[in-house]
Amino acid sequence: MVAVPAQEAAPAALKAEVKDLSFHYGDFQALKRLNMPVYEKQVTALIGPSGCGKSTFLRSFNRMHDLYPGNRYEGEIRLFPDNVNVLAPGVDPIEVRMRISMVFQKPNPFPKSIYENVAYGLRVRGENRRVSLNEKVEEALRNAALWDEVKDRMSEPAFNLSGGQQQRLCIARALATDPEMLLFDEPTSALDPIATASIEELIHDLKKKVTIVIVTHNMQQAARVSDYTAYMYLGELIEYGVTDEIFIKPKKKQTEDYITGRFG
């Protein structure tokens, strides 16, 4: 299934490798033996119709499924450089989540101040020194292209921000702890086109610093922001490759049908 095009000769190193990943919600198998690489400082998009398992797949990377009973993983997601299988029973999901951050579909700022939202991940890690908190919060907000809009209102409640700003705040919150990987679960589906454009631009800038995996419903978005694309259907990975190739000349008829809008 995995067809990494040779002519592309991606200089990027491997950040993660998915090996025979299956996932079960109770008796229901939501993911079926997925295999896929994730390249460092590249954007990988997961596309496919509703219910194809792309969010389930994304949430496996930071073990979000461990929060609920009856879920079961099989296979591996190996994280590099240390080549650890994040799904292994001996690996603490909390440790995995500290390395791999996540931005959700609906902006979910905490009902705290703007500052405290961004600082929370650092506080969880035991950082309480005001100076370094200030520094990190500013850096994260700058990286999330939100600093100029909020620098004079850091103590205001985060709920005062607009939807797009809230989502960028959530990105800043995820970035503040310098994660190795950032997961986006349909980050713009609750936003208007202008806010969407600013988030897309941001994702484009962020890949200089961090490896990104993004789930999206919007094929144009996948084409615009990603370097690699995986097309999923009914829990299976149908096709994976360089985004341009997936969109211009997909190898599978099924992928082509979905991308051209004949299906899905």
Partner 1 sequence: MAYAKNLAEIRLLIASHKRWDLFFACVGVLALMIGVLTFTALFVDMAIKGVPRLDWDFFTSFPSRHAGRAGILSAWVGSTLVMLTTAFFAVPLGVAAGLYLEEYAPKNWITDIIEINITNLAGVPSIVYGLLALGLFVYQFGFGQSILSAGLTLALLILPVVIVATREAIRSIPQGIREGAYALGATQWQVCKDHIVPYSTSGILTGVIIGMARAIGETAPIITIGALTFIAFLPPSPVKAEAPFVSFEWLTSPFTVMPIQMFNWTSRPEAAFLVNAAAAGFVLVLMTLAMNGLAIYIRFRLRKKIKW
Task: Give me the residues that bind partner 1 (CB under 8 A), please.
Answer: 62, 64, 67, 69, 94-95, 97-98, 101-102, 104, 106, 108-111, 120-121, 123-125, 157, 159, 170, 173-174, 177
Q: Residue 109 or 164: which CB sits closer to partner 1? A: 109
Residues 87, 128 contacting (CB under 8 angstroms): no
Nearer to partner 1, 1 or 124 (CB): 124
Measured distance CA(137)–CA(168) in Å, rounded: 13
Task: Specify whether the CB–CB gap between 99 and 79 falls below 8 A.
Answer: yes
Taking the least distance from each CB to partner 1, the nearer of 31 and 175 is 175
Query: Least distance from C-beta 67 to partner 1, angstroms?
Result: 6
Quick one: 95 or 205, whose CB is closer to partner 1? 95
Residues 238, 49: Cα–Cα separation, whole Å: 12
**Min separation Cβ 231 and partner 1, Å:** 26
Q: How far is the CB of 111 from partner 1 (least distance, A)?
A: 4
What minimum distance in Å lies between the beta carbon of 97 and partner 1? 4
Give the residue with the Cβ less far from partner 1, 15 or 173: 173
Residue 43's closest CA among 166, 168, 181, 196?
Answer: 181
Beta bridge partners of 36: 18
What CA–CA distance (Å, rounded) separates 61 from 183?
8
Neighbours of 18 (CB within 10 A): 24
Closest C-alpha to 52, from 209, 230, 245: 230
For residues 46 and 216, the answer to whether their CB atoms sit within 8 Å is yes
Nearer to partner 1, 70 or 81 (CB): 70
Shortest Å, Cβ 245 to partner 1 = 32
**Smallest gap, in angstroms, from Cβ of residue 174 to partner 1?**
7
Please, which residue, 23 or 233, has the CB nearer to partner 1? 23
Tokens of 136: 């990190």
Number of C-beta neighbours around residue 264 at 10 A: 16
Distance CA(29)–CA(70), nearest Å, equals 12
Minimum CB separation from partner 1 for residue 59, in Å? 9
- What would the two tokens of residue 153 be? 């209102």
